[in-house]
C-alpha cells in the first residue's frame, strides 16, 4: 500500500464498448493494490464542473465488464468553453479531496486533459475511440468491436443484396479517418471501400459496380461517413457544431446509392450503421485492451506521472505525453489503402 489517495475517473466524448472495463480495472487495482478511494465524475467534463459525483466501490464494478456504454455517462462538454469552467474544476476536486484524475476519452477529452495538466491539475489519459484515430497508440479500445459489428452487418447485407441483385452501400463511422471502413470492408469482402483520406471518383465506383454486376454478383460498397467525392465536400447530417467545433457527418451512403442507381439503372440501397457500431457488448480483444489500459493508468497515478496517456505499442502498454497523444490525427496511409484496391470490383 502506498500513499492514501482519492482518485477521480470520468468518461468523455462518444460512448464506446470497453469503457466499463477500464472503470472496473481502475477501481479494482486502485482499491485492492493501493487502498485508494475512487470517485466517479458523471457525464464527462460536466461532472467536475457541476460536482456530479458518485463513489465507486468494488461492488459497483462487479458485473460491468461485459456491458457496453459507461456507468458514469458521457458528454461532449468542453470546460474551456464554459465560463469559469477550469476554476470550477479546481474547486470541485478540492471539495471532494480528489488528488488526481483519470480521463478516458478521444482526442477532444484528452486535449482538455492536456490543457488541465498545463494548468497544474494532475491528469492521466486513457485512449478511447471506435475511430482508432489517435496517433500515439497502435489501437484504441472500441475499434475492434466497431469493426466486428460492421463486418457482421456486411455479411448479412450481402445475402439480401444477392437475392435481389442490388448494389448495397454500407456507411460506417470514423469521422475523418477510414480505419473502420478499411478493416470492415476487407473483412467483409467488400467490392469497393471509400475512405476520407482519398477523395473518390464516382465514375470509377460505377465502373467497379458494373464490373461486379457483369459477373452476376451483387456489389457491396463500404463508405466511411467522412468520405468525399472528387471536387466535392463532406456530406453533413447537420451544420451544427459541438463544443469542440465538430460537425455531424452522415448521409454520403444514401447520396452514393442514388448516384449508382441513376448511372447504372440498377437498384441500389444504402444501409447507415450509425450508433449500432458503438453499442453493445465489447469483443474479448477490447475487454482485455481496456483492462490493461485501466491497470496501467493506475500505475501512472501511483508514480505521480501526470500529463501522460497510456498507449499500446506492439503488445506493450507504454506512457506517452498527452501533447503527443493529441498532436495529430492517425489516418489510413496510402500504402494500406492500395493494398485493398486489388479487391475492388472483383
Residue 131 a catalytic site member:
yes
Closest CA to 294 of 18, 45, 48, 67: 18
Q: Confirm whether residue 165 is marked as ligand binding.
A: no
Q: Supply the pLDDT for residue 1.
A: 52
Q: Confirm whether residue 107 is marked as ligand binding.
A: yes
Verdict on whether the full-model pTM lies above 0.85: yes
Q: Confirm whether residue 260 is marked as ligand binding.
A: no
Q: Supply the pLDDT for residue 144.
A: 97
Report the chain (346 residues): mean pLDDT per 10 consecutive residues: 84 91 98 97 96 96 95 92 92 96 92 93 95 93 96 93 86 94 97 95 94 89 94 59 51 92 92 90 97 98 96 97 88 94 89
Q: Confirm whether residue 70 is marked as ligand binding.
A: no
Q: Confirm whether residue 130 is marked as ligand binding.
A: yes
Candidate list 108, 119, 131, 262, residue with the active-site label: 131
Q: Supply the pLDDT for residue 250.
A: 67
Q: Confirm whether residue 90 is marked as ligand binding.
A: no
Q: Confirm whether residue 5 is marked as ligand binding.
A: no
Residue 265, Cβ neighbours under 10 Å: how many? 9
Q: Supply the pLDDT for residue 246.
A: 46
Q: Supply the pLDDT for residue 242.
A: 44
% of the chain residues with pLDDT over 70: 94
Q: Which helix (H) or strand (E) holds 85?
A: helix 85-95
Residue 257, Cβ neighbours under 10 Å: how many? 23
Amino acid at each position: 500500500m502506498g500513499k492514501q489517495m482519492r482518485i477521480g475517473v470520468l468518461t468523455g466524448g462518444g460512448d464506446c464498448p470497453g469503457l466499463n472495463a477500464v472503470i472496473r480495472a481502475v477501481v479494482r487495482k486502485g482499491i485492492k493494490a493501493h487502498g485508494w478511494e475512487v470517485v466517479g465524475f458523471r457525464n464527462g467534463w460536466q461532472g467536475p464542473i457541476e460536482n456530479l459525483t458518485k463513489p465507486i466501490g468494488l461492488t459497483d464494478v462487479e458485473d460491468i465488464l461485459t456491458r457496453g456504454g459507461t456507468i458514469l455517462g458521457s458528454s461532449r462538454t468542453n470546460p474551456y468553453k464554459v465560463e469559469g469552467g477550469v476554476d470550477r474544476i479546481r474547486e470541485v476536486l478540492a471539495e471532494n479531496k480528489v488528488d488526481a484524475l483519470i480521463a478516458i476519452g478521444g482526442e477532444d477529452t484528452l486535449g482538455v486533459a492536456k490543457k488541465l495538466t498545463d494548468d497544474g491539475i494532475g491528469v492521466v489519459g486513457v485512449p478511447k475511440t471506435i475511430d482508432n484515430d489517435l496517433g500515439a497508440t497502435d489501437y484504441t479500445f472500441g475499434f475492434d468491436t466497431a469493426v466486428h459489428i460492421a463486418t457482421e452487418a456486411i455479411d448479412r447485407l450481402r445475402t439480401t443484396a444477392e437475392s435481389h441483385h442490388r448494389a448495397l452501400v454500407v456507411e460506417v463511422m470514423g469521422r475523418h479517418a477510414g480505419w473502420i471502413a478499411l478493416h470492415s470492408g476487407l473483412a467483409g469482402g467488400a467490392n469497393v471501400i471509400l475512405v476520407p483520406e482519398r477523395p473518390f471518383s464516382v465514375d470509377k465506383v460505377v465502373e467497379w459496380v458494373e464490373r461486379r454486376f457483369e459477373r452476376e454478383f451483387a456489389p457491396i460498397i463500404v463508405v466511411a461517413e467522412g468520405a468525399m467525392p472528387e471536387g466535392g465536400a463532406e456530406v453533413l447530417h447537420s451544420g451544427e457544431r459541438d463544443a469542440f467545433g465538430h460537425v455531424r457527418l452522415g448521409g454520403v451512403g444514401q447520396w452514393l446509392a442514388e448516384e449508382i442507381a441513376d448511372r447504372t439503372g440498377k437498384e441500389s440501397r444504402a444501409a447507415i450503421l450509425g450508433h449500432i457500431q458503438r453499442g453493445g457488448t465489447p469483443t474479448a480483444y477490447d475487454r482485455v485492451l481496456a483492462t490493461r489500459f485501466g491497470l496501467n493508468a493506475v500505475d501512472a497515478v501511483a508514480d505521480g506521472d501526470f500529463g501522460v496517456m497510456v498507449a499500446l505499442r506492439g503488445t506493450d502498454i507504454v506512457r506517452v505525453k498527452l501533447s503527443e497523444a493529441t498532436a495529430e490525427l492517425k489516418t489510413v496511409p496510402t500504402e494500406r489503402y492500395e493494398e485493398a484496391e486489388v479487391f475492388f470490383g472483383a
